[in-house]
Structure formats: C-alpha cells, structure tokens
Amino acid sequence: MIKTKKKTYIFLIIIILTTLILNVFPGSNEVYAIRSNANDLSNLVNYPSIYTLVRELQVAHPTWNFTMLYTGLNWSDVIYNETLGHPDSPKSLVQKYVMEGNMNDWICPTCGTHGYDNGSWYCASAKTVSYYMDIRNWLDEETVFSMESLSYDPAIQNLEGVKKILAGTFMDVNQISYIDTAGNTQVINKSYAQIFMEAGQANNVSPYALASRVRQEQGNGSSSLITGQYTYTNPETGEQIVFTGYYNYFNIKASGNGTANIIKNGLNHAKEKRMDKSRACNTWWSTIFTK
C-alpha cells in the first residue's frame, strides 16, 4: 500500500505577523514583505534562535514546507503602533483569564484595569504585545499552525476536511435556514462546509481557516450576531433599533462596552456591508480584514 504524505505549508513571519502590516501602514499599496523560496533558511543567519527552532521542526517533519516573509519593519515601531488608542479604543487587548503572575506586566499603565468590550478584556501592555508577536514563542509542533498558510490549496484542502472541522457543531448540517431582511424564513440547500469551500475557492482563502475561525468565534451558535433577529434598546433614551436578516459570523466590528453594544456594533457593520446570509459566499471573507 502506498501512503501519500500530506504537505503542510507554513509561513514564518520575521519581526511581525503579515496581518499586522496593514495596521502599521494603513491605506498603503506598497509591498513590505519579501517572500523566500520554500524551505530557504539562508537569510535567517541574523536570527539564530529562530533558525534553530525551524530546523528542529524541519527535521521532525520533513514534509512541512516553511516560507519566510521578511517585512523590513522596525520592531520598536511596530510595537509602538500596536499599543496605541488609549483610553477610548486600545488597539491590543488581553483577556483576564490568560494572565498569570504580576498583573502589571500584562496590562498597560495608562488604562489599568478598565474593562473593554464585555468587561473581560484589559488594554495590553507593550510587554504583552511583544510576547505575542515574538515568533520564537510559537515555534513548536502545536502553536506553529497559527502561522499556517491561509491561501486556498486544492491539493490539501477538501470538503471532507471542512466537515471534520465542523463536526458536532451547530454548523454540522446539510441545509441552512435563515431569516431574510424582510423577516421571511428562507432555506439554502447547501451545508456550511460547502459554503466555506466555495468561499475559499472564490477568494483564494483556506476554507479550513474560514471554518475554524467561525467555530472559534461562534461556539455553540447561540450569539445574537447570527440569529438574524435582534432588537437593541438604547439604555439612555429607550430608542430601539431592530436588526432583521443580518449576520456577522466573524464578529467583525463587534466591539464596545457591554454585550448589547457589542452586538449592535457588529450588526451595524453587517448592515452596512449588506451581510445577509444569502450573500454569505461573497461577503464572509472579503470583509474579514476590515475589523
């Protein structure tokens, strides 16, 4: 019997993660990252600890492919830009439950223990941001997959793989019912797995990443951000805003003080982008990076 080896493509980003490049230079069309050839570690000579960790993974897993992205960005500048926004809208938050030891090491001195979003998040200190952005802390056999390539690759991504990611969740169904913007119940004769596959193919994005992200964001599927029907009541004026037929599976722009405010902001974003469920294939990925 011939055993086919699955190749795993992992992009290691030197200095910062690629998704943060857009945050440091908003609105710019310039390309700051230089991509190496697969498994070319020659330019890692200036990063000996990273080189050692990558080589250990290569030896242990010879079918894994590593590509380096050299951003050319200054570490101090990046950390500075990722810790702006005090006190109204900090760029980087840390959840209470992850903090161990001295709390002052985790939270920024400006915002202190002021709670953000649902109150369980604090403004992260520069030390915390530095820790999470330091690639050396994630180069092991489990956490390295946080840097797996997000591109669509039909050689290693398929419908059965997406189904396994969604197994046992609220998305483990063959047909999807939803409420449209007129308040009527409609049916999509497709599974969530099929929709993720189609969205990934259409937008050159890993359907595994899409499915995993929604599973992480939505848990048991009971959030008002994906029920299709929610009424927000302004606590000061009593004014109500009714959201019918809008969905935000990725929780994009779903932030603010208090649960009701978080849901309102998330559904406002969905409404602005016209993210009704019938357009899911076209909108789910195209808007994810607007958060």
Q: Is residue 3 part of a domain?
A: no
Separation of alpha carbons 229 and 272, rounded Å: 16
Q: Is residue 152 part of a domain?
A: no
pLDDT tops 50 at residue 244? yes
Q: What is the DSSP letter of 91?
A: S
57-72: pLDDT as tens digits: 999 999 888 888 888 8
- Say what the alpha-carbon torsion angle 189, 192, 198, 200 is, to the nearest 10 degrees: 170
5-50: pLDDT as tens digits: 334 444 444 433 333 333 333 334 454 567 778 888 888 888 899 9
> What is the band of 276 on the pLDDT scale with cuts at 50, 70, 90?
low
106-152: pLDDT as tens digits: 999 999 999 888 788 999 999 999 999 999 999 999 999 888 889 99
Percentage above 70 pLDDT, the chain: 83
Please report the pLDDT score of residue 279 as a whole number. Answer: 53
Same-domain check for residues 119 and 138: no
Q: pTM here? A: 0.75
Q: Is residue 153 part of a domain?
A: no
Task: Give residue 95's domain range.
Answer: 84-124
The neighbour count for residue 11, using CB atoms within 10 Å, is 19
Pairing, β 121-123 against β 64-70: unpaired
Same-domain check for residues 192 and 220: yes
Domain count, the chain: 3
Separation of alpha carbons 210 and 159, rounded Å: 13
